[in-house]
Amino acid sequence: MEKTPRIEQLNDPEKYRLIKILRHDEVVHFVVEQLKRFRLPMLFFYLFTSALLLLMVAFSIYNYYNPVISMRSWILYFLSGIFSGMILVIPFHEGLHGLAYRIAGAKKIKYGIDLKQMLFYASAPGFVAGSKEFMMVALFPFTIINIFFAAGIIFGDPPLQWGSLVALFIHSTLCIGDFAMINYMVSYQGRGLYTYDDDCKKTSYFYIRC
């Protein structure tokens, strides 16, 4: 197993090559670029969120003709699902990113918000992560939080099932940035990709082995 290089080793042009400099104020542009690149992570994202959307539409149509829950409950739990998937889970989502960084070996975790881009983030300044570690960090909140919402669908009563389905869809959709980053990294799979954040310069750097 290859030992993770230090930052000074990554800057050795005989061993590693800098392939991307991502300024943190350009993250939205980066995500939009990755939406057009149909690799496995983005295909999974599109299929998964599309399937959830179809389930929501199918349930709503069925409930209209064969009421399972009242219209009042439909609206109330729809709004609750949006709130839960969009607002309530934010601290848990970013906290799970931070926990995953800790598991990967990072000592310092920083949390923040970029109001201009409407982004919440967790970073580990100066921590060098390989593609496997970074993918684990990116997918950890998606997996843990969605298991929680899925449990609501499986074990809840009909109103809770509906609200959990909405929350699952909203949260999964808002994980698009995580999937965009994974989508980029798999394009260099097997080439020894490493990345780290420079908090002072608000920039992330990506390297591959020469």
**Residues in Cβ contact with 97 at an 8 Å cutoff, skipping those fewer than 6 apart:** 121, 122, 137, 138, 140, 141
Q: Is the pTM of this model over 0.85?
A: yes
pLDDT for the residue 160: 97
Please answer whether residues 204 and 13 qualify as being in contact, where contact means their C-beta atoms are separated by less than 8 angstroms. no
pLDDT higher than 90, residue 118: no
Per the DSSP assignment, residues forming a β-bridge with 120 are 113
Q: What is the DSSP letter of 174?
A: H
pLDDT higher than 90, residue 189: no
Domain ranges of the chain: 22-209
Tens digits of per-residue pLDDT, 53-106?
999 999 999 999 999 999 999 999 999 999 999 999 999 999 999 999 999 999
Q: Taking the CA of residue 155 as centre, how many other CA atoms within 13 Å lie in the half-sphere pointing to its CB?
A: 6
Q: How far is CA 86 from CA 100, 120, 139, in A?
A: 21, 12, 17
Please answer whether residues 134 and 195 qualify as being in contact, where contact means their C-beta atoms are separated by less than 8 angstroms. yes
